[in-house]
A and B are shown apart, each in its own frame.
Chain A
Amino acid sequence: MLGSLFSQYARTLLVAAALLFIVLVEALGMREAVYPSLLPFFTWMRESSWLGVIGTTYGSIYATVEAVHLLSMAVLGGTVLATDLRLLGVIFKDVPSETLVTGTYKCFKIALLMAILTGIFCAAGVGDKVYYMQVFWVKMLALLAASCFMLFIKQPLLTSRPHIEINPWSIRLLAITSILIWFTVAAAGRWIGFS
């Protein structure tokens, strides 16, 4: 009985487990307990790792990687906006939303990968600064949530069946959440530079 419940609602149960995990981490003070132990890693990233050494030694390389990071963000944001605005019925009204959801996905994944790889380099170069920034952790949390939401929640549902069979309000909710969370990731990222 339990086994069949789990196999039938695996995804939902994983969402509930993730939520429970976050609540427990906060309630038991695990975040405060783990946080100090992360500092050596961030210091090592900046001072000893290859990424940190290159990033802090060659300003021109660092700035160029930042530019690639921005370009990846632009492509990622472009595919997210094109798809989600279609789901909201704002643009591409004459193209089936299924086509956009599947057509932009590969490009989105490449842009996300590029953004993460260049982002690791950028963070390594200022490792001991970002460690103390709240907005950096907000961005990391939002990025993790956004990636999981996109890869394991939104895309699987939207490719599982024709969109006419999905409640239109569910689709709108997914699209608005997707736009807002990727905006948060980008805006928090830009704010790291100002902090």
Chain B
Amino acid sequence: MINELLLQFAQWMEAQEYSQMLVAGYYSYSWLEATHVLTLMVSIGSLFIIDLRMLGLIMPDVSASTIAARLHKPMIIGFAIMFATGALLVYAKPVETIQSLWFRIKMFLLLLAFINALIFNARLKAADGSWDMDPVAPKAIRIGAMISLTLWCGVVTLGRYIPYDWVDCTNTNNTTILWAAGCVEQLNAL
């Protein structure tokens, strides 16, 4: 049911002029994708420095809260650009993307990463700051940082998988994969 709705929504987007223009333009799609990938240096770059600081692997002589606070703004700007360009990339190739297994797992990991970030920030705020100058953060925060690093590595890896066609709807007969990827037509034909 939800797969049918998603497909209809994707087909509606794909029929729009601007969606087709983004793909058909000489450079528009490449520029979008290049911006999406290069902004990793701002978003993930800032985030990983914060996470690595919590684990004591970078700048242990600067207080953890200072690193987290000073890099917060660049990180948010980076993620805002990632989100905007990412949304446009989906808009440019909606059916292909929405029926991509990798894209779906990526969105799931993004959701987990977002929840983890909320818990991480709450723990950071609740902490009394007595460890702020310690080279390594307390265990609860270290675990949060490690989960964050793992999830984001997964997000980037799955993002890199999206253009590959290994498990595209037309390349597999595995019903579980077809269902997970939302390949409505192929499932109905089986």
Contact = CB atoms under 8 A, between A and B. Distances in A.
Tell me if chains A and B make direct contact, with any CB pair below 8 A. yes
A95 B41 contact: no
Interface in B124-147: none
Contact of A66 (B30, B38, B160): B160
B57 interface: yes
B44 A78 contact: yes
A74 B44 contact: yes
- Please tell me the size bucket of the interface on A: 35 or more
Nearest to A69: B160
Interface string A74-112: 111111111001000001101100011001101100000
A82 B49 contact: yes
A143 interface: no
B38 A187 contact: yes
Interface string B39-56: 011111110110010000
A141 B41 CA distance: 21
- Please tell me the size bucket of the interface on B: 20 to 34
Interface in B149-169: 153, 156-157, 159-161, 164, 166
A71 B150 CA distance: 11
Nearest to A100: B59
B70 A77 contact: no
B47 to A, nearest CB: 8
A190 interface: yes
A176 interface: no
Contacts of A92: 66, 70
A100 B160 CA distance: 31
B37 interface: yes
A194 B49 CA distance: 30
Contacts of B44: 71, 74-75, 78
A186 interface: yes
Interface string B87-123: 0000000000000000000000000000000000000
Contacts of B74: 81, 85, 91
A103 B45 contact: no
Interface stretch (A2-10, A11-19, A57-65): A57-65
B45 A78 contact: yes
A67 B66 contact: no
A75 B48 contact: yes
Contacts of B161: 63, 67
A156 B164 CA distance: 43
A150 B41 CA distance: 17
B177 interface: no
A100 B70 CA distance: 12
Q: Output the residue of A60, A64, A70, A100 with the most chain B CB within 10 A.
A: A70
Contacts of B45: 74-79, 81-82
A149 interface: no
A187 B31 CA distance: 10
A183 interface: yes
Given A73-B40, A73-B41, A103 B62 contact: yes
A66 to B, nearest CB: 5
Contact of A82 (B33, B40, B46): B46
A94 to B, nearest CB: 7
A150 to B, nearest CB: 15
7 contacts: A71-B44, A79-B49, A92-B70, A99-B59, A106-B58, A107-B52, A191-B34
Pairs A-B, 6 closest by C-beta atoms: A78-B45, A77-B41, A103-B59, A67-B157, A74-B44, A74-B40
Given A78-B44, A103-B62, 8 more contacts: A67-B160, A70-B40, A71-B44, A71-B153, A74-B43, A78-B49, A106-B58, A187-B34
